Structure 1
Amino acid sequence: MKKLYIIGGTMGAGKTTTCQLLKNELADCVFLDGDWCWDMHPFKISVETKKMVMNNICYILNNFLSCSTYQNVIFCWVMHEQEIIDEILSRVDTANYKVFCISLVCDAESLKRRLQKDVTSGIRANDVITRSIARLPLYDKLNTIKINVSNVTAAQTAAKIAHL
């Protein structure tokens, strides 16, 4: 059976890196990062841009899901609220797919270390640490498979997901 992996987690949890590795472990696989659907400068969150990104995500996912070439579809995004996951699932055709909803979670200290590397490298702004740590408790409330990534590599996480 075909598989759809919906992988969430706060900023810095390792979603993109894990999914890039997972893509290479799974046969006939395609990967979409939700951030690619609204990569803009300056970054502006509004009702209009939120609607636009959700439309973009669902459109691309439906194209991937309907393409017979792919047996595995991976999607990642922050997805810190159940409503985000539910909206995506309500708008994509998963009839021929087994769906795995996964949250990458970690402890605050591990997250801070990961994000500090990005801040030091100039990849992220310093305020991301506070914002990301504040979102950690939200993932406990989600109807997802939780994978604790505090003390494992992205490759180990990808391998674990591939064996679900």
Structure 2
Amino acid sequence: MKVIILNGPMGVGKTTVGKYIADHHPGTAFIDGDWCLDIHPFVGNQETKAMAVDNILHMIGNYQKCSVCNTVVLVWLMDEPWVIQKITQGLSAMQAEVKNVTLVCSRENLIRRWKDDHNCEWRTDEWLNVSLKSLPGFASMENIIDTSDLSVEQVAELVMQ
């Protein structure tokens, strides 16, 4: 099983790129990590993130057992190293082939994308400021793709290389 992890700040395009990849590669499952941490009101602490990691690994394990699934695309904001480490350790135990990519973009692009997204309830000014503050941290991670001047198709192609 191949697992593609798309990490990055809110609004960078993880979900859009992940869904594009799943739609264009038969046998690919799409997992949004937010589904695995959908608590109302939102609580993003160590306990809930650990639960989400467990949920993600459980889902991937079930996809691994499915004869029609050969790839999983996981999109999730993982700004704490322990979260990425737990997921990659779990995937290693499953003997999955893992590709971990962090998507980033310029501040200006993030603001524009944020303002153009009218479908996501999280697109508030408060969360935009949180996302903008997180850009430098994500820019310091490994396997970066700057999506600023690229189309969804171009980003997906770079991820799949």
Same fold (TM over 0.5): yes
Residue 17 (structure 1) shift:
0.8
Secondary structure of the 1:142 match is: coil
What is the match of residue 89 of structure 1? 88
Secondary structure of the 2:11 match is: coil
The separation in 1 between residues aligned to 2:141 and 2:62, in whole angstroms, is 26
Task: Rate the CA distance shift 1:94–1:148 in 2: closer, same or farther, 3 A.
Answer: farther
What is the match of residue 159 of structure 2? 161
Secondary structure of the 1:74 match is: strand
TM-score (norm 1): 0.86
Deviation track 1:8-46 (CA, whole Å, cap 9, x = no partner) reads 010000001111110022231111010111223221223
What is the match of residue 146 of structure 2? 148
Q: Verify the 8 A CA contact 1:21 1:158 in the aligned structure 2.
A: yes
Q: Verify the 8 A CA contact 1:29 1:71 in the aligned structure 2.
A: yes
The separation in 2 between residues aligned to 1:111 and 1:154, in whole angstroms, is 14
Q: Verify the 8 A CA contact 1:81 1:142 in the aligned structure 2.
A: no
What is the match of residue 112 of structure 2? 113
What is the match of residue 98 of structure 2? 99
Residue 110 (structure 1) shift:
0.7
The separation in 2 between residues aligned to 1:126 and 1:38, in whole angstroms, is 22
TM-score (norm 2): 0.88
Deviation track 1:113-134 (CA, whole Å, cap 9, x = no partner) reads 111223x667322111110011
CA RMSD of aligned residues (A): 1.9
Aligned residue pairs total 159
Q: Verify the 8 A CA contact 2:15 2:75 in the aligned structure 1.
A: yes
Identical-residue share of aligned pairs (%): 32
Residue 83 (structure 1) shift:
2.1
Residue 79 (structure 1) shift:
1.2
Secondary structure of the 2:89 match is: helix
Structure 2 counterpart of 1:159, which letter? E
Task: Rate the CA distance shift 1:51–1:83 in 2: closer, same or farther, 3 A.
Answer: closer
Deviation track 1:59-100 (CA, whole Å, cap 9, x = no partner) reads 1122223333211111110112332111111123441x3211
Matched, 1:38 2:37: yes
Task: Rate the CA distance shift 1:102–1:122 in 2: closer, same or farther, 3 A.
Answer: closer
